[in-house]
A and B are shown apart, each in its own frame.
Chain A
Amino acid sequence: MFYKPKQAIHTPISRRKFLELGGAGATMLGAGSLAVGLNSTIMSTRVQAASSEEAKWRQYAGSKLVFLSENTPPSFAIRENIQSFYEKTGIEVEILTDDLPVVQQKAGIDLRSGKSDYTLNYVQDKPIGAPFADFYVDLSTMFGDDTLPQDPEGYGDGAWFENFLSACGRFYAEDKIIALPYDAAVACTFYRQDLFEAHTKDFEAEYGYRLEFNEETTWKQVLDIAKFFKAMKEGGADVPYGYAQHQGSFAWTTQLDIQRMMFSHGQWIDFPIDDKLGSKRPGPTNWGDEQSVLMLEKFKELGDASHPDNLANGTLELNTVYQSGNIAMQVQYHEFAASVENPETSVASGGRTAYAPCPKGDADWNLTGGPLVNGTNCGIGGIGINANASEDMQRAAYLFAIWSTSNQIQYDVLAGLGGTPTRKSVLEREDVKAAQQRPTNMPNALTFDAVYNHGIKDPHFVLGPKIPEANEYHSILASETQQMLSGQKSPAETAAAMKEQFDFLNDV
C-alpha cells in the first residue's frame, strides 16, 4: 500500500504480533475502565450500601457535586474543610458562593429550566424557597432510609432551634421538607451600653424613665431614644445618632425591617394565612387597614429621627454605620456580632455593645387588640437538593446536606469563622455555654440568649409572607416605604398603594 524503497531494511510486524498487541491494549483499557467504574456510583447497589456505616457514606465515591451558596460564613468554613468530607465519602464538592440576589437568579434559572448544574442550593427561606419550593427534593423521603447514613440527632423540629425547620424547609405543605437549616441570621437589638449609661440622667429628665434596653423596651421607646440622640447631635453634642433603619437597596431586608415593628403590635401580618407554611393563593392583603396606616406613620416618625443616610443603608452598610460609631443602636442580624466585636474594625467592640431581643409592641400603638410581642424575624438559609438531578446524584447530595448540618460541622463553623448554628445541640456544649459571657472567643455567642432563648420562640417569631411572588412583593414594599420615608407619599397613600399593588399581584 505504501511506497517502500527496494533496499530498505524493514521488519514488518507479523499479524500474530499485531493481534497480541491489540488484545493487550484492549484488556488494559477494559481493566482501567472497570477500576474507575468500581470506584463510582455505577457499581454500587443499595444492598451493598446498607452493609456498613462506612459503605453508606462511600457509596457515591467518585461523584462530583456543585453547591451554589450565598457568601456566608458556613460556606467559607466548609469550603476550607471540604477535604474531610472527601475523605469520608470520596465525593468531590465544588462550593460556589455569591451575593444572595445572584444566587437567587442562578438557582432560579437552573431549577426552573429543568437543569441540575447546581445539585445543591442555598435555600434562603423567602427569596429562594418561596418561589422555587416545587423544584426541590422532598428530603423527608430520605429520612430513615437504611441505605443512607442518618444523623443520630435526627431531622425533626426538635433537632433544630424553634421554627428553623419550618422557616426554610416547609413551603405550602406540612409534610414535605425541602431543605435542612444550614445557616441562620436572626434579628436582635445591638445597642451602645456605654452611651446609654453616660446619658441616662439627661434622658430620664426629659422622658421620665431610664435610658436602658431590655426585652420590655418598646418601639415607642426606641423612637424616644432616636429623638433624644438626634436632638443632642443637632445641638452640637459629640454623640452619634440614636437609630437607623435597613432602608437601602436590598428589598428583602427592607421588608423585614418594617415587618418586625408591624408584627410586634398585635401580631399583624401581611396576609391572612398560616405564616410559617405560606400560601400560593394568599388572598387580599391586610395592608391598608387602620393598624397598618398607624404603623406606617410611626415608621415614618422613626425614619425622620434616624441617621440621615437611612435610605442608603442596606443591612451591611447599616452595620458599618454602627461599627464606625455613628449610631447608638440598631436592630441587626445576630451573625453581625462577630464583626461588631472585632476591635480592629469596630469602635463598638470591647464591651461597649450589649445585645437584647427586638423591641416590643407598645400598647398605645396597638389598635388590633392582639398581643404585644418582641417581633423577631430572620433569614434561615437551608440546604436543599435540586429535584432535576438524577436519583443517584440526589442521594449523593443528601450525604453532603446532612454532613454540613451536623453538630460537629456547625460547631466548627461557629468556633472557626463566627457562624451561627442551627442545631440545638451545639448550644449544649460547655465551651459554647461559656462563650455566651465576656470575655469570649465566639463573639456571635453573645447574642444567643436574646436570639435563641427569646426571639425565635413563639409568640415573638414572625416569618412570612411565604408566597410564590415573594420577591416582587418585597420590591413593591421597599419602593413604597422608601417613597414614604422620602416624604413623597403620606402613610395612608402608601398603605393604599401597597394594597392595590399586592392585590393586583395576587390576582385578587
Chain B
Amino acid sequence: MTDVTNFENKSMLSGAAQLFRAREHSVEVEARPLTDALPAPTIFNPPAPKRYYLYLMAPAIAVLAFISLYPFFWLIVMSLQSVDIGSSEWVGFRNYARLLKDPNFLSGWGLLLKYSAMCLFMQLAIGLMLAVIVNNHRYEKYLVTALLMPMMMAPAVAGLLWLFLYNGTFGWYHWILQSLGILDSASILASQSTSMYAIVLVDVWQWTPLITLIALAGLKKVPRDQLEANMVDGASPIRNFFAITLPNLYPVLLIAILLRFMDNFRFIDHILVLTGGGPGNSTKILPVYLFEVAFKFFKLGRGAAIALTLLIVTIVLGMILVRVFDKPQSERK
C-alpha cells in the first residue's frame, strides 16, 4: 500500500486531520493510514451486557414487526388461501399452480423486465448526461430546479398530462410525432407496437431528474487531483470521464439504480391512467396485472401469490445488482 502519511510537518497535524489529509491526497480511494491513530482508552465503565441493547431496541423491533413483518407473513398465508374480503379458504399451493397456467402472469413478467430495462437504461444515460452538463454550470441552481419539476408531480397527474399530450384528436405531441413521420395516423397509445414506448417515455421524463440529482451529488465528490493528474498525463476529457469520473460515481449510481429499479416494480399510476395495461395486454406489466387481480377482481389470494413472487424476484435482483456494483473496481473490469 502507498505510504500516504509522509507529510513534511507531522507535528502540526492531529490524528483526525491526518486521516482527512490521507484521504484527500490518496491515489487509491481505499487508502487507509498505516497505524491506529490513538491507543484504546483504559479507564471506562465496563461494557453493558448485550441484553441491555436488546431492551433498548425492543420497542423499535416491535413497531417494525407490526408494520412490516406481520403483513409480510400474512401475505404468505393469504397466498395459500382463496381469499375473499371477510372470508377465506385454505387452498395450499393452488394459487401458485394457477399462476403457472396464467398467460397474463407469464407475459407480465416479460413486459416488466422489458419495461424496467428500457426505463433504467434511458434514465441512466440521460440522467448522467444532464448531470455532467449541469455540473459547475453558471446557472446550475436554476437548471437543477427546472429539471426537478417533473419529479414533484404526482405520477397519476403526470399520466393524465401525457394522456392529453398523446391524444390522437387534440394531443400536441401526437401532432409533432405525426408531423415528423414517426407515427402514422394512429396515436402512440393505440398501437401495440408503440404503447410500451409511450409509457417508458413518461417514466423517463418524470424520473430521470432523480438520477441527475444523485449523479450530480456524486460528481461533486470526484477527487479533483485525480482528474488533474490524468489530464496532465494527456488524457482527453472523454477518457477522463470514463477513467476517473465514472468509476468514482459507481457507489452513488448503485443507489440510483436500486431506487429506480424498485420503483419500476412498484409505480404503475401512470400506466393505469394512460393505457390500463392495453391495448391487448401490451403494457400489462406484472404490477398492473397484480392490481387488477387484487382490486378489480377481488381475488386477494391470487393477488398475494403474485405479490410474493414479485417481492422475491425484486429482492434477488436487488442483491445481484448490489453485488455487481459493490465489487472493487479492479474486479469489475
Contacts and interface: CB of A to CB of B under 8 A. Distances in A.
B159 to A, nearest CB: 11
B278 A112 contact: no
A101 B190 contact: no
Interface string B231-247: 00000000000000000
Nearest to A249: B276
A131 B276 CA distance: 21
B168 interface: yes
B298 A311 contact: no
Interface residues of B, number: 33
Contacts of A472: 296-297, 299
A108 B299 CA distance: 12
B187 A312 contact: yes
B186 interface: yes
B278 A482 contact: yes
A249 B190 contact: no
Given A112-B298, A114-B86, A311 B190 contact: yes
Contact of B191 (A112, A311, A317): A311
B277 interface: yes
A441 interface: no
Contacts of B169: 309, 317, 320-321, 324, 326
Output the residue of A249, A251, A313, A488 with the most chain B CB within 10 A.
Answer: A249
Interface string A124-160: 0000000100000000000000000000000000000
The DSSP consensus for interface residues of chain A is: helix
A109 interface: yes
Contact of B186 (A101, A309, A482, A483): A309
B89 interface: no
Interface string B215-244: 000000000000000000000000000000
B18 interface: no
A471 B296 contact: yes
B278 A311 contact: yes
B171 to A, nearest CB: 10
A486 interface: yes
A247 B297 contact: no
A488 B297 contact: no
Nearest to B192: A486
A23 interface: no
B168 A488 contact: no
A309 B278 contact: no
Contacts, number: 104
B208 to A, nearest CB: 25
Interface in B252-307: 275-282, 284, 292, 295-299
Contact of A478 (B85, B101, B191, B278): B278
A317 B187 CA distance: 12
B190 A310 contact: yes
Nearest to A247: B279
B185 A308 contact: yes
B170 interface: yes
Contact of B192 (A249, A326, A488): A488
A482 B295 CA distance: 22
B249 to A, nearest CB: 39
B297 A471 contact: yes
A478 B105 CA distance: 17
A112 B86 contact: yes
A489 to B, nearest CB: 8
Given A105-B296, A486-B192, A312 B279 contact: yes
A131 B84 CA distance: 12
Contacts of B187: 309, 312
Output the residue of A114, A250, A312, A485 with the most chain B CB within 10 A.
Answer: A312
Given A308-B190, A483-B280, A488-B280, 7 more contacts: A113-B86, A308-B184, A324-B169, A471-B296, A482-B192, A482-B279, A483-B192
Leading 10 A-B pairs by shortest Cβ distance: A249-B276, A482-B280, A483-B280, A312-B190, A112-B85, A309-B168, A311-B279, A308-B186, A308-B185, A482-B279
7 contacts: A249-B276, A309-B186, A311-B190, A317-B167, A479-B277, A485-B279, A486-B282
